[in-house]
Chains A and B, each alone.
Chain A
Amino acid sequence: DGGITQSPKYLFRKEGQNVTLSCEQNLNHDAMYWYRQDPGQGLRLIYYSQIVNDFQKGDIAEGYSVSREKKESFPLTVTSAQKNPTAFYLCASSTTGSRAEAFFGQGTRLTVV
């Protein structure tokens, strides 16, 4: 079945460590996105990519990095520079153009211990 898959579902990180969240889609979508969700904050855009080998910073990119080496994959690295990384992270993909309907993964809950 076509869809978008995030892994792992739960992730624990020690302070000072980098950690990478996986996002894979087989929908043949050009655009992919990473959002962070905190209680009462809604979705905040971290990074997005409209095409392979290109990506742009969103509203809260500091302390995060991404790569887009393949159309299907858009991994997010939470670096030690991100001071408050505990959150729910959502990956999405969409077609390009005016009707950019987004499809979401099930999310990864990251907790710093």
Chain B
Amino acid sequence: EVQLVRSGAEVKKPGESLKISCKGSGYSFTSYWIGWVRQMPGKGLEWMGVIYPGDSDTRYSPSFQGQVTISADKSISTAYLQWSSLKASDTAMYYCARSGASYWFDPWGQGTLVTVSS
């Protein structure tokens, strides 16, 4: 079974750094893109970026370029999403998902809730 298992919920203060993870299993991790999607409270889905773990080719949404860093460690089948300095507006659910050739997302991880509050 293809699965993406995310790291647990985080509560951080503004200005702090954070790195959340997403571990893939049940498929060839290096053969599919992994994407990250943000969902702010009560809002819709926003694509943040994707990474191809096979060669670490990374593409960002213009809306998130420079705001976050996406990386992957293929030796442990894990993708990461990180912030260097969190803001309150980063409070959201963050989903990772495997992505296919035409950028469909399937399956999705359960989501990591990030809360940024002073």
- On whether the two chains bind one another, the answer is no
| Contacts from A to B (Cβ < 8 Å) | none
